[in-house]
Amino acid sequence: MEPVSSVARAWLAAEPDDDVRIELARLIDGPQDVLAARFDGRLQFGTAGLRGEMGAGPLRMNRLVVRQAAAGLGRYVLDHWSDAAERGIIIGFDARRKSDDFALDTARVFAEMGIRALLLPSALPTPVLAWNIREHDAVAGVVVTASHNPPADNGYKVFLGDGAQIVPPHDIGIAACIDMFDPCTVALAASDHPLIVRLDGTPLERYLESVPAARLRPELTGVPVAYTAMHGVGGATLLAAFDRAGLPAPFVVSAQQEPDGSFPTVSFPNPEEPGAMDLLLARAVETGALLAIANDPDADRLGAAIPTPATATRPGGWRRLTGDEIGWLLGDHILRHTSGDDRLVVTTLVSSSLLGRLAAAHGVHFAETYTGFKWIGRTALDHPDLRMVFGYEQALGFLVCRQPLDKDGITAAVLLAEVAALAASEGVTLQQRLDDLAERFGRHVTAELSIRLDPVDAAAKVAAMRATPPTEVDGRPVTGVEWYEEAGLLRLWLDDVRLQIRPSGTEPKVKLYGEAIGSDPALLLESLAHLL
């Protein structure tokens, strides 16, 4: 085997960026075990594409890793679609550090392979890229983004020509093609190569033209809404979407409205993280908003918070909604304002079961699929005889339109603003909407817990529990056990309480999920965690 220092020097010679060259040179001159750790494998390409910390070496996100990934994807589509070169691949990117460089390198790799590369003109939301894949009849789509990961990260997400994220076996096939290329010798076309098509503003315009279709009660004029783009790329697009949809402009958090890949006011730009929405809630109070909404940095997710009334023992305030609660509000609204027995609603295994009860009450089709939004899009494709009107996952992903076949935090924001407007017009609050659902279907309470573990250990722990499931959790007998192979997920039933456990597909942790009706499953999750 070639010494690590020799491999590292080959990377140093090929590295195009001065900052990464400086970092790698220091690693080469430093302790060899530290250098070896950077070269002990490579970032693994999976159904979430690539995602990781920026830096030198094959276990970090950098231009050499991206070029290798692009070459592998190019090889895969050429091998599987005879018209791949002509149809081309559309490429988007967010505002994180080097995202534009990664996108251009991707285009140059494709062009050198004879594939048309359709490059979006600027940093734009992931839904704009996903929406335009089918619009351009592209064979695939790539967006350079780390979504809601910490500021130090970047990533590489892949869609196929049907507009949905990749699922097995495509991820395995692309990964195998990536292995065929040496990241230090991937050939690049010139940046002005004729196969690199630099798109104008039309893709964004066509996406915005589709936004009004998200509305189901377009006569409603809207209520005051506060909004944060969280330093991501969604800000300008969301304002334009609200305008096209006939809604008043939201009150924005100005300090977070413009794209900034350093995320100066939030350490973890994920609406689910504690403290991430603090500036938004302050803005909501200041403006008298009835709804507060947040996009993650690439605007494919939607977070939300609502005001809570004062009681005799507690002053009024604001509370953040869970992804399930947002899903209940959107699902209830959609099912009450659409018709047809061909309707389909979809959610994931780890999301609340309440959507299934809503579907049954409205007499529509319901599907529960694997964890990850890619499976929701795939479910729609697998049921061409049905009309999917709504899909959601508890991790703030919502699909409220027919296109794109992926989560879209922009159109979901438009529809949630309409839900708030309808509630206000009927003299009720969003909390009262949720209370009404609890009265009709039972008060569904969900909880989540994560345990940080090395990915190998995480998978082993879950496999061990699958092999020998517990007979009780916190003194309560386990009454049923289910295993979902594709998701690597173990589900335990304690009568009507549902506990689930799986290794994360994108982070070094095991994730636990609980749902109960009329009680809080959080303590049961803690007990289940101890059993690991």
Which positions are annotated as active-site residues? 147
- Let me know if 55 is exposed, middle or buried by CB neighbors in 10 A (0-12, 13-18, 19+): middle
Cβ neighbors of 302 (< 8 A, separation 6 or more) are 271, 293, 294, 295, 326, 396, 398, 409, 412, 413, 416
| DSSP letters spanning 292-316 | EEEE-TTSSBEEEEEEE---SSS--
117 backbone dihedrals φ, ψ, rounded to 5°: -115, 115
Query: Tokens in use for 51?
Result: 């995602």
Cβ neighbors of 336 (< 8 A, separation 6 or more) are 362
The H or E element that residue 449 is part of is strand 444-452
Q: Where are the alpha helices (DSSP H) in 113-214?
A: 126-135, 170-178, 202-210
Q: Where are the alpha helices (DSSP H) in 222-297?
A: 235-244, 278-287
C-alpha 239: how far from chain center: 21
89-93/140-144 β-pairing: parallel
Measured between alpha carbons, how far is 512 from 529 in angstroms, rounded to an integer? 8
C-alpha 319: how far from chain center: 22
291-295/251-252 β-pairing: unpaired
Place of tokens 């149809």: 87
Query: Tokens in use for 147?
Result: 């979504």
Place of tokens 């916190």: 474
Task: Decide if 29 contacts 45 (C-beta within 8 A).
Answer: no
End-to-end CA distance of the chain: 38
Q: Where are the alpha helices (DSSP H) in 43-93?
A: 63-80, 84-87
472-473/251-252 β-pairing: unpaired
